Amino acid sequence: MSNLDDEFAAAVETLRLEAEIAGANKDIFLELPDSDQVLFIQRGEDLKDFQLFADLPIEIRRMIWRECFPNSRSVNITPPCHVRVCHRSYCRPQTRARRYPLPITLHINSESRQETLQNYTIILWKISENERQVSQQLVFDPKRDNLYLRCCCAMGPMISDLDRKKLSRWIKFLQNAAPNAFERIERIEIRGYSTVFDTADLMLKFPDTSLERFCRVGGPAVAKEVVLGGVLQFPGLKHIKINLWIDEVEIGQRSQQKVVGEYQKEITTFLEKHKDIFASEKAPDVVVEGRVGLYWAGITDTW
């Protein structure tokens, strides 16, 4: 009998709750709105303006502007190629401008521009191409974006001392145009690092004095020290990634893992030697990713 009583009580409680819910729903339909209530009719054009935005605390407004920034991007900071020589579209000025457009927040109001310029580095310049001036731009957030240097495909496999000086002049130009940006850059990627050609030295080289390593007059090059001066111009660096092309012939009997380990040890040793240049006197972490194959046949914008 006890179980029947419990089931009966539960059924009665269920019916009572259903009746209350039905009554509440009925009251909703019977209750008339207040005649003095101001009704708001939403129109499409009203969505274009947010009149209360100016009344928000400035901290919230800044957060909103930052949310409008582009997502993290991979930005090519390699010296621009010559349009008439380079056949790869991603090296051309027009392609670079489309790939790295100016943040939309530069065009809204003075507050959004100020917030954008506090985060982004914007470098504008012009070059002469076919008797006309071609505008170029370099736009990046040193904290969020992944900056990379790559072997300039217009240079060809035999890199000359003149091309090395071109990279040196380019880095000096960037430093002069944005002196504070180099201190804020925390990570950089080196693409096209080769075990065969001098691109390994080109991509990481900076000081013209380092050209002493390439003494070819009257004989082969004399290797004095691995030239990695380029990364020393980024004192805020914490992470360096290197895409290493390993020649099929040079690798010989060694494994790909062993070759990658040798290069990683070589680069890490050099950076440790100059760690006093970096923030907190700590050398950046180094990650080397290797790929075996023909260098010039396989190089792409991501390698």
pLDDT in tens, 201-220: 544 544 444 444 444 333 44
Domain ranges of the chain: 141-298
Q: Across the strands, what pairs with 20? A: none
pLDDT of 159 above 80: no
Characterize the bridge pairing of strands 132-140 and 146-150.
unpaired
Q: Where are the beta strands (DSSP E) in the chain?
A: 74-76, 121-129, 132-140, 146-150, 187-194, 239-246, 285-292
Q: Which two tokens mark 204?
A: 């990481």
pLDDT in tens, 24-42: 555 555 555 666 666 555 5
Question: Are 105 and 63 within 8 A, CB to CB?
Answer: no
Highest mean pLDDT among 6-10, 45-49, 207-211: 6-10
Residue type, position 38, single letter: V
Q: Span 106-115, mean pLDDT?
A: 91
